[in-house]
Chain A
Amino acid sequence: MSALLKTPLFDEHVKLGGKIVPFAGYELPVQYKSGALKEYTAVREGEAGIFDITHMGQVRVQGKGALDFLQYVTTNDVSKLVDGQVQYSALLNEQGTFIDDITTYKIDDEHYYLCINAANRHKDVAHLQAEAANFDVMVTDESDDTTLLALQGAKAQSLLQDLVGFDLEGIGYYKFARGQIGSASGMVSRTGYTGEDGFEVYIPNSIAVEVWNVLVEQGAVPIGLAARDMLRTEMGYALYGHEISDSVTPVEAKLMWITKLDKGNFIGKVAVETRKAEGAQKKLIALKLVSRGIPREHYPVWVNGEPSGEITSGMHSPLAGGGVALAYVKPEHMTEGSLSVEIRGKQIEAERTTTPFVRSNVRK
């Protein structure tokens, strides 16, 4: 294992009392001084949280063959994007299982930008560059030069507006704009991983500390990995390594909505079609505990007294008022059978529910 990396904001995290842990090859704060619950509450209840998500990777795709290339390597229909639009998508292998889940930004017909997961970065880039050899396209890994901040919560727009040289109000959900940010140029999208209104801000590393500190001084609350995962899980958003991995296809992961089988050929298409025809091996469900307890990753899920699967993400949801979780179960148990979660040898009754587990406040 190589040495852990630091983001340009590492010293700021330490100054703010961040408790530093290893995560996806980086040293990142799991929480700051006031603790994960207060951070979570700030984002859910009207403030704005600021997240250093610089560990995530960015890949630029340019050239006359950019659209054809992305149609072939990603699952969603890139031809549907207009300039300035973002799309949730995935990279599959020939077996139809996930290499990664990603977002695709369309700058123009010959220029796209991908945001990828930190833990998958080198695997993704190697895959994209290998496939790019067959297209008129250039794939550039810009991860090391780019700082990515998320600003999430009701006050996100007003805090960020002071710092950017363009109008944020005009940026719709899953749209983005480029322009002046602080003393440099960057990109802002109305996207996020929390279920609150907010933005993700791509800037050069050179202004990372400046932008972070201005936003924190104006009242943005620094948010660590623990609160970020609470906010993500409450929305039921999939996370690579949990709900999605190279052992499941979009059929199991309930991600057929980003997998467009009618758009033409793409990597993994045949395998997904086959899986769809044969039926999923397991199905992702959302559940809520009826009695007290916290469902956590890998806890067994039972249906009608028989083992059926396991939790992939779970938490105590302050807003839902109990334990909520995503879990894989046998396909026949997706809608039928009485559920329980095994917690320390005891069966705790659960019921199926829908995601998000709590109300989403994203601006649709």
Chain B
Amino acid sequence: MSVPTDLRFTKEHEWVRIEGDTATFGVTDHAQEALGDIVFVELPEIGRNVDAGEAYGVVESVKAVSDVYAPVAGEVIETNDALDGEPDLVNSDAYGAGWIIKVKISDNNADTELMNPEEYTAFLDE
């Protein structure tokens, strides 16, 4: 599967979509593939401030528990409540309906700290 071109990526296989001062977080297709069937997503409280690199939630597959880390810093303004009933959206549509949270960006480090699609594709091939 090709990597979407409008996103930035972390080495922990998270993606972020930045639109104005809002950032949407999720895990990449590679991450969901490696995790296997996802059966539970623990979402943070609205209003919580997360630092870049901080664990903001937990994704549990049949066999594994994995923290998910914030690609950029911000205040949580929305969580994907559809994941409560359908955590497998992370598997079936990692870059779309399987998004996890939205934050109001407090410090946009995306251009300097995160990988662009070409870099992430190369990182996956390493």
CB within 8 Å of B: which residues of A? 19, 30-31, 35-38, 226-227, 230, 292-294, 296, 315-316, 318, 344
Contacts and interface: CB of A to CB of B under 8 A. Distances in A.
A230 B84 CA distance: 21
Nearest to A225: B63
B62 interface: yes
B110 interface: no
Contacts of B58: 344
A264 to B, nearest CB: 43
A30 B42 CA distance: 24
A35 B92 CA distance: 12
Contacts of A36: 36-37, 62-63
A230 B62 contact: yes
Interface string B17-54: 00000000000000000001101101000000000000
A35 B65 CA distance: 17
| Consensus secondary structure, chain A interface | mixed
A293 B40 contact: yes
Contacts, number: 37
Contact of B63 (A38, A226, A292, A344): A226
Nearest to A315: B62
Nearest to B40: A294
A44 to B, nearest CB: 14
A51 to B, nearest CB: 16
A227 B62 CA distance: 8
A225 to B, nearest CB: 9
A19 B34 CA distance: 10
A293 B58 CA distance: 11
Given A292-B84, A344-B58, A35 B63 contact: no
Nearest to A318: B39
B37 A35 contact: yes
A315 B64 CA distance: 11
A296 B63 CA distance: 9
B62 A292 contact: no
B60 A316 contact: yes
A294 B60 contact: yes
Nearest to A343: B42
Contacts of B65: 294, 296
Contacts of B37: 35-38
B40 A31 contact: no
B64 to A, nearest CB: 10
A293 B39 CA distance: 10
Given A226-B62, A344-B58, A37 B84 contact: no
Contacts of B36: 19, 31, 35-36, 226
Given A292-B40, A318-B39, 7 more contacts: A35-B91, A36-B62, A37-B88, A38-B37, A226-B36, A227-B62, A293-B42
A226 B36 CA distance: 10
Contacts of B40: 292-294, 316
Nearest to A31: B36
B50 to A, nearest CB: 16
A190 B42 CA distance: 41
Contacts of B42: 293, 344
15 contacts: A30-B63, A35-B36, A35-B37, A36-B63, A37-B62, A226-B36, A293-B40, A294-B39, A294-B40, A296-B65, A315-B62, A316-B60, A316-B62, A318-B39, A344-B58
Contacts of A296: 65
Interface in B51-103: 58, 60, 62-63, 65, 84, 88, 91
Contacts of A35: 36-37, 91
A263 B40 CA distance: 48
Identify which of A38, A294, A296, A315 gathers the most chain B CB atoms within 10 Å of its CB. A294
Contacts of A292: 40, 84
B89 to A, nearest CB: 14
B90 to A, nearest CB: 13
Contacts of A226: 36, 62-63
Identify which of B42, B88, B91 gathers the most chain A CB atoms within 10 Å of its CB. B42
B98 to A, nearest CB: 15
User: Nearest 9 CB-CB pairs, A to B?
Assistant: A37-B37, A316-B39, A36-B62, A35-B37, A226-B62, A226-B63, A294-B40, A294-B60, A36-B37
Contacts of B60: 294, 316
Given A292-B84, A344-B58, A37 B63 contact: no
